[in-house]
Amino acid sequence: MEQNLEGRTAVVTGAASGIGYTVAHHFASHGARVVGVDLSDRVGALMAELPGSGHHGIARDLTAPEAATEVIAEAVRVAGTPHILVNSAGIALLDPAVDVPAARWQATLDVNLSASFYMAQAAGRVMIEAGYGRIINLASQAAVIGLDQHAAYCASKAAIVGLTHVLSLEWAPKGVTVNAVSPTVVETPLGKKAWAGEKGEKAKREIPVGRFAQPDEVASLIAYLASDVAAMITGSNVLIDGGFTTV
């Protein structure tokens, strides 16, 4: 898959850890200039350590509607109009459906859905004006199947796929593609901790390939969708789950 992102500017949310950090590092390693956004104030130092130069970190809470517009304005100021947006920031607060507290339901939707929409909307405006853009939203296998104690998470990720369909339809004539990527469990540090022991081994046995996804595998797929060779792909939800959702 095409990995040359030389000369591209990419905004990556959730860039201080997990999939977001791996995507930021992967993009930088393949020539992109990265503007990383994260709630953590460590994001600036982490972006400064990426391969290449000119990277920039922004510490912001993206759940406030105005935050996205301010973040994109800062990205334009320091790095020019972004060519790529990767919405990777997300949370997973798990409860049985009958016990989901209103605050945890709302927090999940605020971070996973609303923040991704606000960022796509703000980036979409400048991308449409430029006539070019690639937006990749992190969904999940939970967008297409039900998972125990994942009511809020599944709802938020299914909504991401629906949002992706609408944005792709509206923005394709403007030169902006919008796709979603839906991984199974990914072996980030947090993923390894959450799925350690027999719980994780049982889950792996239910995946036809017999393992979880690696962060670099997800980052490579995202990089392909962000590249020029994927110009004909838009509105897709690409599953990277080892065949789990086909069983």
pLDDT digits (tens, 9 = 90+) for 89-122: 999 998 999 999 999 999 999 999 999 999 999 9
- Whether 1 is in a domain gets the answer no
- Whether 2 is in a domain gets the answer no
Residue 82: name the closest of 26, 120, 40, 44 by CA.
120
Active site residues: 153
Tell me what pLDDT residue 199 has.
85
pLDDT at 189 over 70: yes
CATH number at 200 reads 3.40.50.720
Is residue 177 within 8 A of residue 133, CB to CB? The reply is yes
What are the CA-CA distances from residue 70 to residues 149, 167, 222 (Å)? Answer: 35, 21, 25
**96: containing domain:** 9-239
What are the CA-CA distances from residue 190 to residues 19, 91, 208 (Å)? Answer: 10, 11, 23
Q: How many domains does the chain have?
A: 1
- Whether 214 is in a domain gets the answer yes
- Whether 244 is in a domain gets the answer no
Q: Where are the alpha helices (DSSP H) in 172-209?
A: 189-194, 197-205
CA 136 – CA 85 distance, rounded (Å): 6
Res. 243 pLDDT band, cuts 50 70 90: very high
- Whether 46 is in a domain gets the answer yes
Burial status of residue 210 (CB atoms within 10 A of its CB: 0-12, 13-18, 19 or more)? exposed
- Whether 181 is in a domain gets the answer yes
**How confident is the prediction for the chain on average, in pLDDT?**
95
pLDDT at 220 over 80: yes
CA 2 – CA 135 distance, rounded (Å): 16
Tell me what pLDDT residue 194 has.
78
Q: How far apart are the first and last CA of the chain?
A: 27
Res. 196 pLDDT band, cuts 50 70 90: confident
- Whether 245 is in a domain gets the answer no
Res. 213 pLDDT band, cuts 50 70 90: very high
- Whether 196 is in a domain gets the answer yes
Res. 13 pLDDT band, cuts 50 70 90: very high
Tens digit of each residue's pLDDT (9 = 90 or more) over 68-78: 999 999 999 99
Kindly report the pTM of this predicted structure: 0.95
The whole-number average pLDDT for the span 192-212 is 89
What are the CA-CA distances from residue 222 to residues 18, 28, 138, 140, 239 (Å)? Answer: 14, 13, 9, 13, 11
